[in-house]
Structure 1
């Protein structure tokens, strides 16, 4: 039976995972040894590094992207290793992001991915037989499985079974047992906050004579003798279960000892548990992330310290093939996981949760306790934002923005960030790429309540969006707020003229003269970005970020900006994707200039590297439409005389099940196929080619 507080527990668990990853990531080995962490930071009681924005790593990518197998394949049945293997191949850009690409036979994930690409199916792809004992028993089988526990609450065995199925894509032996242990522990944490019960639930799902169980029992026995000194227990692990005995880059067994150590010595306290996991070294981000999920669920939101939660600000970015999916709002994702959990349990999901979730648009209702949905302020001297339950336009929650002693002309922006580039990050962690989550033609709406405490004029706001490249702010008309009243504010995002939009929100401005200054607060509720997009991409206004041309995610090939075009040079099949992952009916128009090669295509309704449609030039005087469903099938073709070095306008329209290709305004192909109903757009080639692409226009129908 799913608990009544399931959504809040999922939210806390997912926050906990990302807090642990962020806490542990700056001291991840191999340079950061246990001794070096201790000598440098001593007792860790807060984040050791500030990030402009935190780019997640493999510990977050795997749980997020592999779960999409529940949408793509295992829609009405239990998960299998092959389902998850297909998610590996579909959502990863080969060699970039998602995993640690440390080399075949070195990185377990890299090894498994190459095996899958070469036709070795799961679970053989991760087996001891295929890869040997050491590779198969590294830590990755455990660090990618948190969400399987979150969607199987109060059912440790089912959670463990799902975790094992997912882990077997890349791991075997003790590596799979780690997945079973943690999925069961996460599932049990929905029922109890007793950390010993949670650990025992995990151990119940693995063989008692396994090495994983033995190292766990060794930690529990040591704790019984020395319950107040986690460092003494860490010394025992180094001596009896260390990396010298369990080799490879990052073996699961020494880290399994850290998991149990941090949980039992953390005594059920979320904050202390992730701190201990980080201080103990070895695989710090993995260890703190996994125990963060367990303790997040067990302790709930109230158990997570504000110093850890506030910098997360409800946001995490990923590193998969979809730049749209890479921008994650944690409360929204918690709702998605909750809906999946009810589906898997075959229980009806509460309608209010269903109604509050959308993956197609942006919708922030501020209902989850403490949620901010990554809304920010530009001037923290004048304004502070926080969650509130004091006022709400609908439901019980809103975002409260306190403005403090502002005078005429002083302003602060309150905004959501729907797009990122390299400049927004402190480091190169896992090379994320992004597609905006707001576009010209869409409607922005929100409800605002003014509670003004001081000042001789009421406050005003102006809706705005900011363009990324020029930093130009497209400010709409000013609206004077009405004290003690809710007002609805809405506007259509204006033409961005080929630029990308990286801020959407309001400018909050004081109209008061110098004395008395404006003091008070506004409440924001029901924030939405929705409707049909209609926009262009001007490559004169784009840049090269993380090895890609914005706003595309590239898979294979060499891509660059040349004279206002995106230029591809490749010796192999290559592709580039962008746009709303959930877009259904739309047209994509672009100028294409083929330089060499037989294949120059436009992709539509692409759901990853292995799923989508591709239409365009396909050999001498030929055009074709292909279906890519883990292999390309030609759906239809026609004769069309095209030449190298010539500019062509290609337009592909998808509406319902009808796919139409136009070249220079002439319809040359039309076909009906219902395999894919939504997806990204982009460009691609099925072989060696050089091509220029420019003047992209996307119109949702």
Structure 2
């Protein structure tokens, strides 16, 4: 290469470096640049409010940061959990997957799942975290996309409580009908019923939807808890029909458990360790589960095992034996001889999720690791708890935990369709929309107020009671 060619090469490399540097700076500062001013929804009538001395005061800008952390934490956990999704489901029926993973398998080769033959995950040859760096784009998955759609529908329709027809219209407008549409079991059945003209809640009735006990609602509705900070009673009202789009009985109560947990994340004692707050939140959400339900008994069994300091791997093995082999506590899905022994069921995945929640002790990294290794539909519990913990520690906390920055972009069109900007959104914009939804809930359903000058919500702290779930 001559001198002129060398200079051109050096100049080109320098330009690429400069462009990359400024792009990364834009990515890292995007949240600040959008949220360093008060967020105002021009389509909402902010009313005057006289605060009461007992009102909870919540910063809207801090909440936006937490919602960003929710989307980021959920995506990290979702894509990490997908590495081991359906790798380990037990050894009952035609599909047998050998021994479950243990903590020693982290970082080691991934095993094939029940669909992949002899091939490991395409996402990672080893069991490890899956990240999108600042130049990348997070892909949507069924653990994030329906929540995204519900948030969009609430904002578009300027409502806090979606009707059955609004839900049906949203599903039909944004879910593909014929191609790979990233729906399974109860979601797919509900969608088929919608195509025939049926709307929620009829789409989850057992006589219409035989998959009503599957996992679907618990991975698509947790976000409603964040739309009602510190008021889980109201959160349950917001989530009622979206949950009953696909779930009944234990599957419904499990989904409500998650919604309550998400709402209580804004009602914690900031002076306590996150581990202690997590246990308090879980114990409180347990009140929703009828004592005679298998969901309640699953929670109690895992919680008692945790309190007894039994290793998480042993507890996971025990719930497999207790509920899938022996079919205890009314959990009888094995006798139905369903595909993969009902590996998509709400119950067994809920039990596994409580293992990762409690043994993760509020540490987002450890919680995702345990959830990824626990088995069954492993990307579901990881997504739920990655989202919750991401919210609790916020965007900055997630980045600090992992020691790096991540992409802020999200491609909803990987799995859904019909959204603006060819489906490319950002976590900061998604957080902004979430704040606007909370504005409406605080003012219209809590009887609270918004002070735009101080950028805060006033949430009346009147107490709340969680009643036992009913049929």
Instruction: Tell me the TM-score range normalised by the shorter chain.
Output: 0.5 to 0.7
1:211 aligns with 2:294: yes
What does 1:418-433 align with in structure 2 at a 5 Å threshold? none
Instruction: Provide the C-alpha distance between the structure 2 equivalents of 1:17 and 1:50, rounded to a whole number of angstroms.
Output: 11
Contact 2:302 2:354 in 1 (8 A): yes
**2:26 equivalent in structure 1:** none
How much does 1:190 deviate?
1.6
Contact 1:136 1:175 in 2 (8 A): yes
Instruction: Provide the C-alpha distance between the structure 1 equivalents of 2:365 and 2:451, rounded to a whole number of angstroms.
Output: 31
**2:208 equivalent in structure 1:** 130
Note closer, same or farther for the CA distance 1:330–1:198 as it changes in structure 2 (3 Å cut). same
**2:237 equivalent in structure 1:** 161
Alignment match of 2:192 (pick from 114, 123, 141): 114
How much does 1:42 deviate?
3.1
Instruction: Provide the C-alpha distance between the structure 2 equivalents of 1:211 and 1:330, rounded to a whole number of angstroms.
Output: 36
Instruction: Provide the C-alpha distance between the structure 2 equivalents of 1:253 and 1:273, rounded to a whole number of angstroms.
Output: 19
Note closer, same or farther for the CA distance 1:265–1:273 as it changes in structure 2 (3 Å cut). same
Note closer, same or farther for the CA distance 1:205–1:351 as it changes in structure 2 (3 Å cut). farther
Cα deviations across residues 296-337 of structure 1 (Å, max 9, x unaligned)? Answer: 223334542557484642122122212535212111211110
Note closer, same or farther for the CA distance 1:93–1:351 as it changes in structure 2 (3 Å cut). farther
> Of Structure 1 and Structure 2, which has the larger fraction of its residues in strand?
1
**1:561 equivalent in structure 2:** none
How much does 1:154 deviate?
0.8
**1:271 equivalent in structure 2:** 365
Task: Name the SS of the counterpart of 2:245 in structure 1.
Answer: coil
Cα deviations across residues 243-295 of structure 1 (Å, max 9, x unaligned)? Answer: 87534340011111122111111112122111111110111111100011222
Contact 2:265 2:281 in 1 (8 A): yes
**1:19 equivalent in structure 2:** 76
Task: Name the SS of the counterpart of 1:300 in structure 2.
Answer: helix
Alignment match of 1:199 (pick from 266, 275, 282): 282
How much does 1:31 deviate?
6.7
Task: Name the SS of the counterpart of 1:19 in structure 2.
Answer: helix
1:3 aligns with 2:51: no
**1:242 equivalent in structure 2:** 324
**1:150 equivalent in structure 2:** 226
Contact 1:67 1:84 in 2 (8 A): no
Task: Name the SS of the counterpart of 2:200 in structure 1.
Answer: coil
Note closer, same or farther for the CA distance 1:83–1:310 as it changes in structure 2 (3 Å cut). farther
Instruction: Provide the C-alpha distance between the structure 1 equivalents of 2:257 and 2:159, rounded to a whole number of angstroms.
Output: 25
**2:145 equivalent in structure 1:** 61
**2:436 equivalent in structure 1:** 339
Between Structure 1 and Structure 2, whose CA radius of gyration is higher?
1
Instruction: Provide the C-alpha distance between the structure 2 equivalents of 1:53 and 1:10, rounded to a whole number of angstroms.
Output: 18
Instruction: Provide the C-alpha distance between the structure 1 equivalents of 2:57 and 2:383, rounded to a whole number of angstroms.
Output: 24
Instruction: Provide the C-alpha distance between the structure 2 equivalents of 1:252 and 1:353, rounded to a whole number of angstroms.
Output: 39
Contact 1:156 1:202 in 2 (8 A): no
Contact 2:167 2:242 in 1 (8 A): yes
Instruction: Provide the C-alpha distance between the structure 1 equivalents of 2:431 and 2:128, rounded to a whole number of angstroms.
Output: 24
Instruction: Provide the C-alpha distance between the structure 2 equivalents of 1:57 and 1:239, rounded to a whole number of angstroms.
Output: 30
Instruction: Provide the C-alpha distance between the structure 2 equivalents of 1:311 and 1:302, rounded to a whole number of angstroms.
Output: 9
Q: Higher relative contact order by CA 8 Å / sep ≥ 6: 1 or 2?
A: 2
What does 1:193-342 align with in structure 2 at a 5 Å threshold? 193=274, 194-226=277-309, 229-242=311-324, 245-246=332-333, 247-304=341-398, 306=400, 308=402, 310=404, 312-318=406-412, 319-322=415-418, 324=420, 326-342=423-439
Structure 2: gaps of 5 or more residues: 1-55, 90-96, 109-125, 269-273, 334-340, 444-448, 457-471
Contact 1:161 1:180 in 2 (8 A): no
How much does 1:185 deviate?
0.2
Contact 1:61 1:98 in 2 (8 A): no
Instruction: Provide the C-alpha distance between the structure 2 equivalents of 1:123 and 1:208, rounded to a whole number of angstroms.
Output: 25
Task: Name the SS of the counterpart of 1:93 in structure 2.
Answer: coil
Contact 1:160 1:180 in 2 (8 A): yes
Instruction: Provide the C-alpha distance between the structure 1 equivalents of 2:344 and 2:174, rounded to a whole number of angstroms.
Output: 24
Cα deviations across residues 540-572 of structure 1 (Å, max 9, x unaligned)? Answer: xxxxxxxxxxxxxxxxxxxxxxxxxxxxxxxxx
What is the root-mean-square deviation in Å for CA atoms of aligned residues? 2.9
Cα deviations across residues 602-653 of structure 1 (Å, max 9, x unaligned)? Answer: xxxxxxxxxxxxxxxxxxxxxxxxxxxxxxxxxxxxxxxxxxxxxxxxxxxx
Task: Name the SS of the counterpart of 1:3 in structure 2.
Answer: strand
Instruction: Provide the C-alpha distance between the structure 2 equivalents of 1:213 and 1:2, rounded to a whole number of angstroms.
Output: 33
Note closer, same or farther for the CA distance 1:205–1:31 as it changes in structure 2 (3 Å cut). closer
Taking structure 2 as the reference length, what is the TM-score of the superposition?
Answer: 0.66
Instruction: Provide the C-alpha distance between the structure 2 equivalents of 1:185 and 1:336, rounded to a whole number of angstroms.
Output: 21
Structure 1: gaps of 5 or more residues: 355-701
Contact 1:58 1:98 in 2 (8 A): no
Task: Name the SS of the counterpart of 1:171 in structure 2.
Answer: coil
Cα deviations across residues 565-589 of structure 1 (Å, max 9, x unaligned)? Answer: xxxxxxxxxxxxxxxxxxxxxxxxx
Note closer, same or farther for the CA distance 1:79–1:50 as it changes in structure 2 (3 Å cut). closer
